[in-house]
């Protein structure tokens, strides 16, 4: 069962993975040049449709001649069209075929430029008398281990995309193997992998391999190419193998990875413990969508009985340390943005309050954080920024379309919408309105229910 990594064969760099899996039933087969490849028909149809829509991508030849990782295709589509709601093809697995990855030398920093996908080409491993002998294994993992090929290119470095595009799909795909899976990562970034190393160690018993720069001949019993995506920040339990798993299991895995103590938002039994008071965490931002009255918000929350903390996550934050801070909170409040992805660390029964910027962005708030909250067993609330609470009212005349007709800005496309309503706006929530929201959040917590019973 050789799995090969031969010498590079082009100036851009190429690497091959050869596999020799045992035969198994396949949902469909496409043949070309004597090569049989099991293909999910719906997934392949979707890939072909995407190929036709991306006119700057070389057209796909035969079904078994070229395959792209699902994440690679999606990132290319999002980069090209600025899509905010996405549908992804299921992950594909191929049998009895070697795979070639063509490295396009993507060493740019995170989010520094549009990302270009890599091509995964399927090539036959001929075994006839006239064929050269297959390469010999230098690392043989064929007894038990499955190889999982995925990319960490695209928008990795943005917290929301780290989880919704890579980490959760990787969990969906790898969880079933109970650790007997090895990650072979294309577009490998050591800083990114190290940032989430505890998660990879929960999913796999083996080291993560930079497959673009690996010269070993690795042998595996099975290979899965590309992760499986279900939905934004979510797992569809009905689509997972029996007995099934969900975001509850993903969050339990995160608690194990980062040593998080609280599975549920319940007060401490120790009457002297400060955690008997509900903790409110304000997610701070700098640059855009910042709270201009953050200190006043904290003072008001403390007057309601909250123990208040302020956290500002960024790409340099220690993931484990910040995860523990979030896990200690009972209520988390922040303006729409990637920082709210930290909701994955909140204990069950906690409350997420998403502050939605001005500009008709309810649809964006709903798809990114509102809909995922139920599967995480988190209470969800919104605070909608009004015209007198946004700095946009200071930047534009009262009759400007930005203020009077946000829908007209939306019609100009994602770039226009993002530039105006996400990049140029800071907010100053009205403390009276926000106080009502905080009080409603308190009622959803065991702390508030105990308070009501005592009264």
**Please, what are the averages of pLDDT over each run of 10 residues along the chain (455 residues)?**
34 35 33 30 38 34 32 39 30 34 31 53 66 80 85 88 95 94 93 95 95 88 89 95 94 97 83 75 94 97 96 86 96 96 97 97 94 97 97 96 96 94 97 98 81 51
Token pair in block for residue 11: 């100036």
User: Residue 176: which residues within 8 A CB-CB, separation 6 or more?
Assistant: 240, 241
What is the distance between the alpha carbons of residues 391 and 424, in angstroms, rounded to a whole number?
A: 8
Question: Would you say 428 and 292 are in contact if contact means Cβ atoms under 8 Å apart?
Answer: yes
Cα-trace Rg, the chain? 25
What is the distance between the alpha carbons of residues 448 and 147, in angstroms, rounded to a whole number?
A: 49
pLDDT at 65: 27
Whole-Å CA distances, 237 to 86, 242, 245: 19, 9, 5
State the CB neighbour count (10 A cutoff) for residue 216: 13
Question: Would you say 449 and 443 are in contact if contact means Cβ atoms under 8 Å apart?
Answer: yes
Token pair in block for residue 391: 């700095």
pLDDT at 116: 58
Enter the pTM of the model: 0.74
By residue count, the chain amounts to 455
Question: Would you say 144 and 221 are in contact if contact means Cβ atoms under 8 Å apart?
Answer: yes
pLDDT at 274: 59
Q: Is 321 exposed, middle or buried (0-12, 13-18, 19+ CB in 10 A)?
A: exposed
User: Residue 362: which residues within 8 A CB-CB, separation 6 or more?
Assistant: 356, 382, 384
pLDDT at 131: 73
Is residue 151 helix, strand or coil? strand
Each residue of 57-83: b (16+ CB within 10 Å) or e? beebeebbebbbbbbbbbbbbbbeeee
User: Residue 379: which residues within 8 A CB-CB, separation 6 or more?
Assistant: 349, 350, 351, 352, 373, 441, 444
Which run of H or E residues covers position 185? strand 181-186
Supply the DSSP symbol for 9.
-
Token pair in block for residue 179: 């650790």
Token pair in block for residue 203: 């999913």
């Amino acid at each position: 069962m050789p799995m090969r990594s031969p010498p590079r064969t082009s100036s851009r760099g190429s690497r091959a993975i050869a596999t020799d899996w045992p035969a198994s039933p396949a949902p469909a087969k496409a043949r070309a040049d004597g090569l049989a490849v099991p293909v999910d028909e719906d997934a392949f149809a979707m890939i072909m449709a995407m190929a036709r829509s991306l006119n700057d991508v070389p057209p796909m030849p035969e079904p078994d001649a070229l395959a792209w990782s699902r994440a690679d295709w999606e990132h290319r589509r999002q980069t090209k069209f600025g899509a905010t709601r996405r549908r992804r093809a299921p992950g594909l697995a191929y049998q009895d075929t070697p795979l070639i990855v063509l490295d396009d030398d993507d060493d740019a920093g995170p989010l520094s430029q549009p990302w270009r996908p890599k091509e995964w080409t399927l090539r036959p491993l001929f075994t006839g008398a006239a064929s050269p002998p297959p390469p010999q294994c230098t690392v043989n993992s064929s007894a038990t281990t499955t190889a999982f090929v995925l990319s960490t290119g695209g928008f990795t470095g943005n917290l929301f995309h780290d989880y919704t595009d890579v980490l959760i799909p990787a969990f969906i795909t790898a969880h079933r193997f109970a650790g007997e899976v090895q990650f072979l990562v294309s577009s490998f970034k050591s800083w990114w992998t190290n940032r989430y190393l505890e998660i990879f160690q929960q999913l796999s018993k083996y080291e993560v391999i930079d497959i673009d720069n690996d010269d070993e001949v690795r042998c595996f019993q099975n290979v899965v190419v590309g992760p499986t995506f279900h939905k934004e920040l979510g797992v569809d339990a009905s689509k997972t193998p029996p007995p099934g798993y969900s975001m509850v299991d993903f969050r339990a895995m995160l608690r194990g990875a980062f040593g998080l103590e609280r599975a549920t938002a319940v007060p401490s039994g120790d009457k002297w413990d400060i955690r008997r008071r509900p903790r409110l965490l304000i997610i701070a931002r700098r640059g855009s969508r910042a709270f201009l009255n953050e200190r006043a918000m904290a003072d008001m929350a403390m007057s309601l009985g909250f123990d208040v903390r302020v956290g500002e996550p960024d790409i340099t934050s220690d993931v484990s340390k910040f995860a523990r801070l979030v896990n200690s909170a009972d209520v988390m409040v922040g303006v729409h943005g990637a920082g709210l992805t930290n909701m994955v660390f909140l204990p069950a029964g906690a409350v997420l309050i998403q502050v939605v910027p001005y500009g008709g962005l309810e649809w964006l708030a709903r798809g990114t954080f509102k809909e995922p909250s139920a599967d995480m067993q988190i209470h969800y609330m919104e605070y909608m920024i009004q015209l007198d609470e946004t700095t946009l009212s200071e930047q534009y005349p009262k009759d400007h379309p930005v203020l009077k007709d946000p829908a007209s800005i939306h019609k100009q496309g994602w770039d226009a919408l993002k530039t105006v309503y996400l990049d140029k706006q800071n907010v100053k929530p009205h403390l009276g309105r926000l106080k009502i929201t905080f009080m409603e959040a308190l009622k959803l917590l065991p702390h508030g229910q105990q308070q009501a019973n005592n009264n």
